[in-house]
């Protein structure tokens, strides 16, 4: 898994690329990133599968000076975390851990 953050020069936001490895696409057909930034809606940020590499990726712009909780949802049923997240926090559901991305 990978998270790449790039601060935009013309706006107070970041371009953030989220990547899930090809091994995941061998077991799952779809992936979405869900979190505070999209009201935890799995239909808002559906990741694209690269046909050559097999990776799931998505790039989204997020406002700077924020922290966002997020997770990945695979095939609409399996939740996973990103080991490259900036932090981890107990979910309000109590039985899960959410990833956190910090954008200075």
Domain of residue 85: give its range.
Answer: 2-103
- State pTM to two decimals: 0.95
pLDDT in tens, 38-49: 999 999 999 999
Structurally, how many domains does the chain consist of? 1
Q: Which CATH number covers residue 29?
A: 2.60.40.10
Q: Residue-wise over 9-23: b if at least 16 C-beta within 10 A, else e?
A: eeeebbebebbbeee
Q: pLDDT for 10-42, tens place per residue?
A: 999 999 999 999 999 999 999 999 999 999 999
């Amino acid at each position: 898994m990978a998270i790449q953050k790039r601060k935009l020069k013309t706006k107070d936001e970041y371009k953030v690329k989220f990547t899930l490895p090809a091994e995941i696409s061998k077991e799952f057909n779809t992936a979405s990133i869900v979190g505070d930034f999209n009201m935890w809606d799995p239909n808002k940020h559906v990741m694209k599968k690269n046909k050559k590499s097999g990776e799931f990726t998505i790039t989204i712009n997020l406002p700077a000076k924020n922290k966002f909780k997020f997770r990945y949802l695979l095939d609409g049923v399996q939740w996973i975390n990103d080991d490259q997240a900036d932090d981890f926090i107990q979910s309000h559901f109590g039985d899960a851990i959410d990833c956190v991305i910090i954008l200075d």
